[in-house]
With several copies, the nearest count.
Chain A
């Protein structure tokens, strides 16, 4: 298929109707590929004994990139969870930032090597520091959004959690606040059907997380996390609502979990081979790649270019992060309370 036809196709393409340029969707694909590449790199490093622990988001990247796409990278806030690698990359963290955390280096922007890998945070790009207790981030996002509304900064806040996390009382309390004050906050739920080994039917009464939003007087929508453009469409709509002062939206993205919960888990112990296999068909990297290929945007050459760029960036990031210094032992005494610098 020649470039001419490709162009012709894309004008009518779905992404165009959503206001996304070819450039946009190729960049979105790049981020998904980058996050996936980083992911694989981290597991390889862990298996090689160079990292103690990995928790990442294979299968979650599509909806994360799509949901982050409408956000103002510099001005809006993001309150992540441990699977939010792709979202954090789009928001402005670099592969080096991520790997500095994996190696727990002194220059890790998330925590200076103080937290386990996957606990992202970055003041400059307005990503709030992540902790481990599931659910606590939802009220934080609400507080940030309340401040934005009171101070009239126009900031939108997005936060993310998994399906299991929605069982926490904090999530209910946060959504209730956001509904009462019609706050500019997007509640993302990345539903991969499991909380470690606990399946959705033992986690979510009624089976629909999005359905709960109605109980708080704001919209809840479900989108297939493999359908990146659909995820973008609902996220963009939610973002615009927030911007217009019409309050929060709950965005439930159904995604496959393309690996074990973390490097400490073996999903084969509680999931069937068939189920794990079936999930591969829902891989957003594959599905979105197929879409771009189908409309002639992702040519074999472009695919190779992107793959090369991703590999180069990850190699460079790995070297930079490995070379970075460990924190000084005595530095552990610092920052219990405020200190200059």
Chain B
């Protein structure tokens, strides 16, 4: 057991998978000489050389498309998008190609590619360096989407993603890279893609979150527990395919559901969680399913007062908890 920062856990996962399987390669902007703009790939070029650690041209569609071809010919590519905001040019390659290759070929071809993307809002990252993209991709059958919120999960899920026979979108919340530390089991630590996990058991209501929001949620839960509200916090660390059972079990226990996400509210990932609960757990519910999410404006503005207006934090979450608990 070692305590690692989130970014170091991701870096370790890369090093271990590169050492384990020579078919593993990485392509992305600045992943080589610079080791990635956040350092996720630091040390790989020196160890594994330019053949496997590829400083790609500035063209995301080709980063995805070339990775798909590499996978078809025996490699296990990791495609890094420098920011999730810049995955958009690759939308067609990921949605039309990576997610559909196995299905359209009736299992003749697969697409074992990991698409990594630093995502979510941080301080001063504004419209184009802060986007939440999970709703776009969790909706795409054939694609798996994970969003680990702890260093241990980041390492374990990334290693599992690299070994997965299908395409996985791996979302790393920028805010956590250096801020979040945690114990990471030694050895070949794997976390299966799929299961959600209860981070904090509670009786009064179920709070569903992922990524950075999970940490804000845990803080809020601690705050309100002093007020006598006992919140169960569920970490939806795999967004697709979703672990429905864990979600429904928690609601069956607490009879109240609060869904927190920092993406724009309308049509965001939390809508699916709410819809699932409203259909499958309706008779368990004692109150409306509440969503707390970012406002429906095109992006997080840069200026501090505007950024704060937009951002979901422990204070806003605590208010929502009190509101739901009182219903």
Contact = CB atoms under 8 A, between A and B. Distances in A.
Contacts of A109: 108
Given A114-B303, A173-B57, A143 B73 contact: yes
A332 B62 contact: no
A116 B126 contact: yes
Interface residues of A, number: 79
B274 to A, nearest CB: 23
B107 A335 contact: yes
Contacts of B126: 114-116
Contacts of B298: 336
Given A110-B105, A133-B128, A165 B92 contact: no
B129 A173 contact: no
A180 B62 CA distance: 13
B61 to A, nearest CB: 6
A332 B306 contact: yes
Nearest to B107: A335
B308 A329 contact: yes
A141 B71 CA distance: 11
Nearest to A114: B301
A83 interface: no
A334 B126 CA distance: 16
Contacts of A165: 58
A147 B106 contact: no
Nearest to B93: A136
Contacts of A138: 65
Interface in A97-146: 104-106, 108-116, 119, 121-123, 128-129, 131-136, 138-146
A198 B297 CA distance: 34
Contact of A203 (B58, B86, B89, B301): B58
A170 B309 contact: no
A169 interface: yes
Contact of A129 (B32, B58, B101): B101
A52 B130 CA distance: 15
A139 B69 contact: yes
Interface stretch (A15-23, A148-156, A250-258): A148-156
A339 interface: yes
A196 B105 contact: no
Interface string B87-99: 0110011001100
Given A111-B106, A336-B102, A327 B97 contact: no
Given A133-B85, A136-B96, A330-B309, A143 B59 contact: no
Contact of B106 (A128, A142, A144, A335): A335
Ranked nearest first, the 3 interchain pairs of A and B with the lowest CB-CB distance are A143-B69, A139-B65, A132-B128
